[in-house]
Amino acid sequence: MLAAVSTAGIIVLAVLGFFLLLAIGGAFIVRRRTEAGAAAFTAEIERANRDLAAAHASDNGWEPSRVTEAARQAFSQERPGVAATTIELIQVVDPPGTEDDKAVFRVETAAGEHRLTLGRHGDHWHFETLT
């Protein structure tokens, strides 16, 4: 009778151990899949934000090419001799009226990434910040 209890206990422990290994393995696989998709998810969110900002700008009568050109000029004045490889509109701040409008750009250079903010005064865009 003692041998039967020991065998049953061993079987129960083996089954529990098997399920524990399945749970640990599953958690590991889910974590790896989540980490692998995080960069793609972040890139997709950033692309959606840029698209939304561009759509919002064009819906409010902003001329995206004109605002982008103002951003290019402001960047070249603030960082003479540094070439911007990419300038993308990433955020539109558009409270009622036009005097407090802001356009935020992501500017890529060979040295890194910057955020450039332009403010609006009437039909003129002017430099506010560069980080």
Question: What mean pLDDT is predicted for residues 34-60?
Answer: 76
Whether pLDDT at 26 is above 90? no
Q: What is the pLDDT of residue 115?
A: 95
CB–CB of 83/109 below 8 Å? yes
Q: What is the pTM of this model?
A: 0.59
d(CA 23, CA 122): 62
What is the average pLDDT value for the chain, to the nearest integer? 84
Domain boundaries, the chain: 1-131
Rounded to whole angstroms, what are the CA distances from 6 to 15, 17, 20, 81, 123?
Answer: 14, 16, 21, 80, 86
pLDDT tens, 63-102? Answer: 778 888 999 999 999 999 999 999 998 888 878 776 788 9
d(CA 33, CA 35): 6
CA dihedral 47, 50, 56, 57 (to 10 degrees): -150
Whether pLDDT at 105 is above 90? yes
Q: What is the pLDDT of residue 104?
A: 93
Question: What mean pLDDT is predicted for residues 33-57?
Answer: 78
